[in-house]
Amino acid sequence: MRTLNVSEITKNIKEMCIEANHFLSDDMKCVLRKAVETEEAPLGRQILRQLQQNMEIAGEEMIPICQDTGMAVVFIEIGQDVHLEGGSLEDAIHEGVRQGYAEGFLRKSVVKDPLLRENTDDNTPAVIHYEIVTGDQVTITVAPKGFGSENMSRVFMLKPADGIEGVKAAVLTAVKDAGPNACPPMVVGVGIGGTFEKCALMAKKALTRPVDERSSIPYVRDMEQELLKKINASGIGPAGLGGTTTALAVNINVYPTHIAGLPVAVNICCHVNRHAVRVL
């Protein structure tokens, strides 16, 4: 049994909130560079170059990549051989977010009540997803989620008879309806199967998969590639101003489901697709 003080989790989440809002992950940097090379529209290439310049300025001058520094989504995988001490894990996570957004001078965008709309002034609470796994490590993923793209996400409760073509149509519908509002080029996370809430969670987690990593399931991998090609043929383009780069990746997760259902969720992220991962 390994013992870990929750203060370590607070410290790391604080740093990760700042890191994710100022620096793109290596896979995102790489795919953006490639997009500049392959984009066919002159205006699209110009926009992509401007996005790259924005990333460079953000890192060099420690200015957030985007003014919407998002609502903090935290995925935490806890090894079953880890004993956490020093207080409440959930409080420690929220405290890490509070410190990160305060010390990083990041915009506070969370309201206490969805209808009364009073700001919490520290960007808490975070949205936390726990998973108990084997081993004695704790893996933390912090994904600040901006709401320009979040608002464009969808859940479709399809019929089993809709099949794979129905799934593809649902994903394309969500992307086309999103258009420029999701700040393309976007990353498209898709969850297929499970239940209403499970498919949405899978779609959210799919956004944290490296964009250069494809599914290990052959038919899913083929669907990712096919959908990416069709989305980029839509003509929406960078910033919605036309071009051949509407999406940088389509990441799909699947899970068993009920014989009577075919749930599909599409969680869209903008071109920055912010996330940071650490293993403690």
pTM (2 d.p.): 0.94
The domain limits of the chain are 2-20+65-145, 148-273
Query: How far is residue 113's CA from residue 119's CA, in Å, rounded to a whole number?
Result: 8
Element (H, E) at 94: helix 89-103
Please check whether residue 247 is in contact with residue 184, taking contact to mean a CB–CB distance below 8 angstroms: yes
How many residues can be counted in the chain? 280
Look at residue 158 in the predicted model and tell me its pLDDT. 98
Look at residue 25 in the predicted model and tell me its pLDDT. 87
**What is the sign, positive or negative, of the torsion defined by CA atoms of 186, 204, 208, 168?**
negative
Mean pLDDT per segment of 10 residues, for the chain of length 280 residues? 96 98 91 92 94 91 94 98 97 98 97 97 98 97 96 97 98 96 96 98 97 95 98 96 96 98 97 94
Element (H, E) at 71: strand 71-79
Look at residue 24 in the predicted model and tell me its pLDDT. 87
Nearest to 176 by CA among 126, 237, 220: 237
